[in-house]
Amino acid sequence: MKDRRKDGKGGRRTVSPEEPLRAVAFVNEAAERKDQGEGGCIVSIPLRRPRWLVPPISWMLPFSSHRRVELDALGAEVLRMCDGKHHVEEIIENFAAKHKLTFREAQLSVGAFLKQMTQRGIVVLVGTSEKAKR
């Protein structure tokens, strides 16, 4: 009944199916939001300049100081709920209730969205401990 996944130290830890849903979602404090029309927004995240990117390499490889992600109205709505007060499960429930979706429909779309946001460093999911909830 439990998934076994590597913990990054070579050992193995057990992850129950409830744990990802009970994580708390935070937006990266460094992220800047700029609202757009129709409920959408642009989120920009400052990027760390790689140490090796010095002249003359930097003359050839342009470096952008920020990563910008444009979100539509639905994405912006989910991002607003990533305030460190809501579990992923609550975000999915709210999204499903608002848009008349089943839990699974909402889970698929919100889950995929949060995965992309975490990969881009905009959202952080913090484990299930109650201490994580501010």
Q: Residue 7 or residue 18: which is nearer to other proteins going by CB?
A: 18
Q: Which amino acid is at 38?
A: E
CB of 91 to other proteins, least distance (A): 11
Nearer to other proteins, 31 or 123 (CB): 123
Binding site for other proteins (CB under 8 A): 1-2, 16-18, 21-22, 72-74, 87, 89-90, 93, 96-97, 99-109, 112, 128, 130
Q: Tokens for 70, please give them.
A: 């444009």
The span from the CA of 113 to the CA of 123, in Å, is: 10
CB 1 → other proteins: shortest distance, Å? Answer: 4
CB atoms within 10 A of CB 36: 14
**Smallest gap, in angstroms, from Cβ of residue 92 to other proteins?**
8
Residue 30 vs 97, nearer CB to other proteins = 97
Least Cβ distance, residue 100 to other proteins (angstroms): 4
Any bridge partners for residue 14, and if so which? 4
C-beta closer to other proteins: residue 57 or 73: 73
